[in-house]
Structure 1
Amino acid sequence: MTTTTNPSQALPQRAGATIINGPWPTYSQFKGLPERERWVLYGSAKAYREALELQGFQMAESYDQFVRRVTAELEI
């Protein structure tokens, strides 16, 4: 099943991939942590996204958009 929030926005996808609309989750609540912990969270966010993609999910947010968003939210 494929779902999008904006039907006029064509998203490239693999056949049968479920698109996860986002951004999700957000990390701005962690920006007050020490820098080292924020980098650990950034690594975890990337690993979580990769794990979902390996299971066949496709994010509506491009990888570049994801990296820009998460680094901005974590202020790194």
Structure 2
Amino acid sequence: MTTINSHVHPQDARTTPVIVGPWPTYAHFKDLPERERWVLYGSAKAYREALENQGFVMAESYRDFIARVCRELNV
């Protein structure tokens, strides 16, 4: 399922860059202290938002993204 960024007009959707992966993994950070894992969680969300604000569309839904990052960081 492709998630269209609300900043992308429907007529531009055909030419919008779609990022399909591979997705960065955060699993190797799961043993860091909790505070650092939450900082990484915030960074992951900010990075995705920055890409979307530039007009990129993610093939991974936002809900799936949050679930994956939370699972990988064990937060």
| Cross-structure match for 2:74 | 75
Separation of aligned partners in 1, 2:51 and 2:3: 17
Separation of aligned partners in 1, 2:21 and 2:38: 21
Name the TM-score, length of structure 1 as normaliser.
Answer: 0.81
State the SS of the aligned residue for 2:46: helix
**Which segments of 5 or more consecutive residues in structure 1 lack a partner in the other structure?**
1-9
Separation of aligned partners in 1, 2:3 and 2:58: 10
Name the TM-score, length of structure 2 as normaliser.
Answer: 0.82
Structure 2 residue identity aligned to 1:43: G
**Which segments of 5 or more consecutive residues in structure 2 lack a partner in the other structure?**
none
Structure 1 residue identity aligned to 2:48: R
2:44 pairs with 1:53: no
Question: Which digits, 9 at most, give the CA deviation of each residue in 1:20-61, with x for residues without a partner?
Answer: 012511100000000000000000000000000000101100
| Cross-structure match for 1:11 | 2
1:18: Cα distance to partner?
0.8
Q: CA RMSD in A?
A: 1.5
Q: Which has the higher contact order (CA 8 A, sep 6+)?
A: 2
State the SS of the aligned residue for 1:51: helix
1:12: Cα distance to partner?
5.1
